[in-house]
Every structure is written in C-alpha cells, then in structure tokens.
Amino acid sequence: MATILSFKLLSLFMIASITQSQIFDVHGMKICKHAYPKHYEVSHTNIEPFHVMKKRSVDQPLRILLKYDDSVYRLDQETFLLINNTILPEAVQFWEKALYVRRVDKVIRLTRKCEDTQIFVKGNVTYCISKCKEKTTCGEVEVPNEHLDACRVCNAAGKDCHVLENSDQGEGVQDADFVFYISAIQTERCNKPSTVAYAAHCQQESSLDRPIAGHANLCPYNISTKKQDFEILLSTVKHEMLHALGFSMSLFAFYRDSNGIPYTPRNEDTGKPVLNENLQTYQWSDKVIKRFERKNWLVKSGFVPRHVDMMVTPNVVREVREYFNCPELEGAELENQGEDGTVLTHWEKRVFENEAMTGAHTQNPIISRITLALMEDTGWYKANYSQASEMKWGKGLGCDFVMKSCKEWISMKADRGMSIHPFCNKVKRDPLQTECTDDRSSVALCNLIRYPNILPKSYQNFDQIKYVESGEEGYYGGSVSLADYCPYIQEFTWKAKDVIVRGSHCRFTENNPKPEKNFALEKYGNESLCFEHSDHMWEESSCKQIRQWQHWGSGCYGYRCENGRLHILVGNYTYRCYHANQEIHIKIIRNEWLHKGAIVCPPCREICAAQFNARGESCKIGDEPPPANFYPRDELKCAGSRVKMNVTLT
Ligand SMILES: *[C@@H]1O[C@H](CO)[C@@H](O)[C@H](O)[C@H]1NC(C)=O
Ligand SMILES: *[C@@H]1O[C@H](CO)[C@@H](O)[C@H](O)[C@H]1NC(C)=O
Ligand SMILES: *[C@@H]1O[C@H](CO)[C@@H](O)[C@H](O)[C@H]1NC(C)=O
Ligand SMILES: *[C@@H]1O[C@H](CO)[C@@H](O)[C@H](O)[C@H]1NC(C)=O
Ligand SMILES: *[C@@H]1O[C@H](CO)[C@@H](O)[C@H](O)[C@H]1NC(C)=O
Ligand SMILES: *[C@@H]1O[C@H](CO)[C@@H](O)[C@H](O)[C@H]1NC(C)=O
Ligand SMILES: *[C@@H]1O[C@H](CO)[C@@H](O)[C@H](O)[C@H]1NC(C)=O
C-alpha cells in the first residue's frame, strides 16, 4: 500500500521533471551577434561644418526620431502594440534621458548610396561616379526620399562634380539628432537561434563622425508578448540601439577625446583611420582598445598565458577601477569568445555578467555606469549617470576577481574558507538545493553542467568537483560559455515535458507555484525577494500523511522594512528579523496541510538600508530574538499515526 501511495503521490506532486539541459535552458539566454557594418556600408553625411559643430557643448538631450518601415504595420496587433506603445518608446526614452549630444541645428539629409563602390569626398561631401543608387537603404529599410540629400555626382576622374539634374534634396529630418529606421522582417538572420532583434548605424556625420542614422530589425516570429519576457525584450532593444549609437566595432576607430581630437590617427588623404582589410572596418588605436598579457592564468593544468583586450578610454577606466575596487585594472575587459559580432563588441561575460552590454542575456539585465562611461568616451555624448542601474555582480571584489581566472578565485577563496560567490561549484543533484542570486532577485542554481565533450584546456576550471568522479572534471563548466565556462548562480526555468512551467525570478507573479505544490509558501510578485531556507527540508503534514520535499534551499517572499528591522512575509504572517542569520521557524497551516520549515534572515542593511535612508531611518543593531513562541505557530490537531514519505523531483 505504501509503495503505491508513494508512486501515485510522486507523479502527482512532481513539480517538473528537470534535467540539466532543461533547467538551464533559460529563456533569457540570447547571444548577441552584432553584425557590425562594413566600411563600405556606412556613408558620411555633411550636416554642419567641423568648426561649428566642435565648439558646441555636449549638453542637449539626445533626440531620436523613429521611422517605421511598412513591415512594422504588418505585425500582429498584440506585437505591434507592445512594440509601438511600450518597448520602443521606453527604449528610446531611456537613451534620450541618459545621453546628451551637441545638438544638430540643421536638418539631417542622408547621403545617397552609389552604384559604384568607388566614391569621391570633397569638402566632406560624398559624390558618386555618374549616378546614385535608385534606392538608399539603411539596414532592411529603404530610406524615404524626404530624408535624402540630392544625388551628387562627379565624372569617373573625380572632376565636374555637381548635383545631378532633376535630383532634388528632400525636406530632411528636423529636430532630431539620430534617425532610427525600424523594420520587422523575418530575415535570414532571424532564423539563427536566439536572434530577436539586431541593429547598427548606417550613416555618420562628417565633422565629428557621430552616427546619425541607424536601423533596427525586430524579428517578428521571435518576439514574445509574454509578460515574463518583457524585461529581456526591452533590454535587448536598448542593447541593440546602443550598438547603433556607438558600441560597435565599426565605430571604435572614430572615438574622440573630450576635446574632439580623434584617439586614432587619420590617414591624411582620406581623413579616415586606416582600414583593417581583414575586418573590413577601420582599425582603432591602442588608445581605445589595448591588448594585455596575463602570464599566469590558472586553469586545471596549471598556469597558461592568456591575453585580454581592454577598453582603455579614460571614463571607462575610472569607472571599472572604482567599481571593482582595483586601482591597477587596465580597463574594461572585452569579450574574447563568440563569433564575429560577439567578440570585442561586448563586455566580457565573466567580468560583467548581467550588464546589458555583455554578449548574452542571462538574467536581470541592467545598464551600468560603465556602459554610460563608454558612451562618454566616444566623444559624442555626455551621460546622465543617474540613469544607470546599480550593478552587484563582482562589485568591490578587488583585483583578484577581475584580473585572475575564476579557477584561481575559487581556489583562493575556498582555501581560506570564504564564499566563492559570485562563482559556484555545485553540480545539480538530488535533493535539489537552490540558492539566491547575489542581488536576491531570483531563486537560482549553480549553472555548472557536464558538457558532452571535454572543454578546451584554457577553460577547465576545476581540479575536483564534489560528487563528480575524479578524471571527469574537464567535462564540467558553467553553462554560459561566454563567461569562460566559469560557473555561477543563475536563475532558471522549471520545465515539465519540455514545456516551461514557470521561471524563478521573484518579481513575476506568473512564477508562483500552484497552491498544492507551494510547500514552502513562497510568494512571487513585484515586491518579493529571494531568501535562503535553513539546512532542513520542508515538511508538509496532514492528519494522514507527512511529506518531505526533496528540494529546498531558497524561496521568494515578500518583505517589509519597518521600525528599524527587516520583516519577512510568509503566508499571512509577518516575521521580524532580529539579527543576520537568525533562523525563523515557520509552522503554518494552509489548505489543511501544516507547512514546516525555516527561513534565514539576511542582514537588515542589505535589504533595508536604501529604504531606511530615504526615510531618514536606519537599521537597528542586531539583538537577541524573542523565544520561538513569540512567533505565530499553527498546530495540527489530529490523532493517530501518519505515513511518512519523501517527494522527489526527478
Ligand atoms: C503608436 O505610437 C505612437 C507614438 O507613441 C502613437 O501616437 C500611436 O497612437 C501608436 N499607435 C497605436 C495603433 O497605438
Ligand atoms: C571636413 O571634416 C574634417 C573633420 O572631420 C574637418 O577637419 C575639415 O575641416 C572638414 N572640411 C570641410 C571643408 O568642412
Ligand atoms: C525564430 O523564428 C523562426 C521562425 O519561426 C524559428 O525558426 C526560430 O527557431 C526562432 N528562434 C527563436 C530563438 O525563437
Ligand atoms: C539626470 O536624470 C535625473 C533622473 O532622471 C534627473 O532628475 C536629472 O535632472 C538629470 N540631470 C541632468 C543634468 O539633466
Ligand atoms: C507593485 O505592484 C503594485 C500593483 O500593481 C503597485 O501598486 C506597486 O507600486 C508596485 N511596486 C513596485 C515596487 O513596483
Ligand atoms: C490568508 O491569505 C489567503 C490568501 O493567501 C486568504 O485567502 C485568507 O483569507 C487569509 N487568511 C487570513 C486568516 O487572513
Ligand atoms: C527520505 O529521504 C531521506 C534522505 O534524504 C532518507 O534518509 C529517508 O529514509 C527517506 N524516507 C523515506 C520514507 O523514503
């Protein structure tokens, strides 16, 4: 009887069947491949003379004009409304508030493209040989005639340059500093896995080289209108816009210092930096990106040499040094992995995990001060740093964290008995033990997984792993390869039969477990955070049965900061925390089951400092908690013995 009951209950209470490949298949894992425009795809446009533009101060809020291609209007209603009324306005407003430019006083008229690959530039005006292209495109979008300059041509010898007869200049774009052409076409690139949108600039103004026009294509079949995906979609669009505004391999060579002097020397004939034939774009100098050797990069096999490419412009250097608390840090490390379009055009994932300008979205994306500093270092923008979000990943962890391998960091910390966060070393196993991300936004797991093939030596980060057979360590690494295979705590999704049941981000009510499966009485919602459980399993008892859940570790709960203390909300009760690491024992009856478990109080400061500061209050110092009977405790009143059983997640 007991076995049958157990079997039945097992299937009944199985929340999800999770395997390693499923659980880390986070919906947010989107890798950005920014197909940077090749030099011949970008035109320079003459708007105002150098001396006029240069002396204007960089103090006017950026004005972005959106122009839709017809394809946008063909999106289904729901997607169109999401894009038109929420995503695009929010993304545009974000950058308009975050960045200031030298205002453009004249109208913008874009340069027409030429039939011929050869062009002439005279007095910063571009001329085609004999004729211009019928259509000038920016990305997938045809630029409307109203936005175009007249067709200007010379003869094949570069003489007799004039405006072609019957060619008129358009009205131009008024009161804008950047024109963004938006399309929604299911292009070839959209069919590549994990592509939702992509963007790039297409024209730069000729006096200071600032990009003034760009395009973004949103892949219509890959846009999810689900609420849980909103944050990632918005962040993706902001991220892509930034590639067009300045963070691009095609623009590094055009960056200027605060006096408007180019960081990269110009070729006297062309006025442009030298071309890198290989990349088909202009080669930047090492005042922008510089390569450094890390002679002693520790991996499983010992020390290996490794080079790192660093963004070394002044504002970025100041920000990263301060952020990581490492005064000798050379700059901000750029991504060294991934294909063209991922490598070098993003921040290194190992170092900047959830910064939105890393090459892959994993969780909780934010735009940090460091990205805004880079925008200032283009020489085209000033930033309003109050628009930056606070980053927590690796903050203040010092030079060991940013300048050494994660293997060395993990070993060093573990040897001293210290936390190895933000990295981790736990392989998923039964019983499943979850943790909280460092920012407490999400219930999380260590993303250490077994790869089918042994990892390259330079990415083998473990000598030994608990519960992994010796000799097998080389197959294990973090599921995010761009992070140099360093494993870290990450949010995940619960899946059953390959269908996503729910996510683990505390903020979304959609992630609430079904009442009959909510053994730890979690509550997901916009005001919830992740709190750790004690070391014991949660237990549910009815008058007939006791069930133990073979899965615990952390959960999402509401909280309040009141009277100088943190309060955690579980079920309908409020539990006051008196000191850090206090274990609060929970006994609550819900739906005729008594739920028993414990939650660990984090330090008051960590959760409440900001709220208290804003209200002129502060966290009281830790104090002895009152006896257990001070807290609410439900009791189950029933007679007779009960069947005890374990509920496992397989
Ligand atoms: C699209 O957005 C624009 C600007 O925000 C707005 O004026 C317009 O009404 C929107 N269109 C629809 C159909 O909602
Ligand atoms: C063209 O632009 C460069 C800077 O990009 C400037 O030095 C030069 O004076 C400009 N020439 C003319 C004729 O405006
Ligand atoms: C995007 O949509 C295309 C076409 O429906 C599909 O083949 C592709 O797998 C989708 N990619 C993602 C990441 O959803
Ligand atoms: C920067 O942004 C904040 C918040 O939006 C705003 O209050 C402040 O006025 C802005 N600063 C400047 C100089 O515009
Ligand atoms: C949470 O949602 C409620 C209701 O939707 C709203 O009133 C409240 O301001 C939100 N709180 C935060 C912190 O966003
Ligand atoms: C407890 O909360 C539930 C919803 O979570 C509500 O339906 C119920 O009325 C509450 N009970 C008490 C005693 O407040
Ligand atoms: C439940 O699991 C624990 C170990 O996690 C084990 O010691 C115990 O015997 C199990 N109980 C039953 C009834 O299977």
Give the residue among 549, 541, 627 at the shortest CA–CA distance from 588.
Answer: 541
Shortest-distance Cα residue to atom 2 of ligand 2: 207
Residue 640 has a pLDDT of 65
Nearest CA to ligand 2 atom 3: 207
Whether residue 39 is annotated as binding a ligand: the answer is no
User: Given the CA of residue 525, which atom of ligand 5 is nearest to it?
Assistant: 1
Strand (E) or helix (H) holding 614: helix 604-614
Alpha-carbon 633 to chain mean position? 42
Across the strands, what pairs with 570? 573
Say how many Å lie between the CA of residue 646 and the centre of ligand 7.
Answer: 6
CA 523 / ligand 5 centre spacing (Å): 14
pLDDT of residue 389: 96
Residues at CB less than 6 angstroms from ligand 7 = 431, 548, 644-646
Does 473 qualify as catalytic in the annotation?
Answer: no
Q: Distance from the CA of 74 to the center of ligand 1, in angstroms?
A: 14
57 in contact with ligand 5, CB cutoff 6 A = no
Query: pTM for the complete prediction?
Result: 0.86
Q: Is 239 assigned a ligand-binding role in the annotation?
A: yes
Low-confidence ranges of the chain (pLDDT < 50): 1-28, 650
Ligand 4 center to residue 378 CA distance, Å? Answer: 21
Non-local (6+) Cβ contacts of 421 within 8 A are 438, 489
**DSSP-assigned states of every residue in 349-405:** HHHHTTBTTBSEE-SS-B--HHHHHHHHHTSS-EE-GGGSPPP-TTTT--HHHHHS-
Q: Which residue is catalytic, options 41, 205, 240, 408? A: 240
Closest C-alpha to 533, from 469, 586, 571 = 586
Residues in the chain: 650
Q: Which residue type is seen at 480?
A: V
Q: Which domains does the chain have, with CATH numbers?
A: 37-247 (3.10.170.20), 409-495 (2.10.55.10), 506-647 (no CATH)
At residue 18, the pLDDT reads 28
Q: Which of 185, 196, 218, 221 to mutate to test the pocket of ligand 3 (most atoms within 8 A of CB)?
A: 221
The pLDDT, as a whole number, for residue 482 is: 93
The answer to whether the annotation marks 346 as part of a ligand binding site is yes
Per-residue confidence (pLDDT) for residue 92, from 0 to 100: 98
The pair phi, psi for residue 560, each rounded to 5°, is -140, 150
Residue in 598, 606, 593 with CA at minimum distance from that of residue 634: 593
What's the DSSP call for residue 104?
A: P
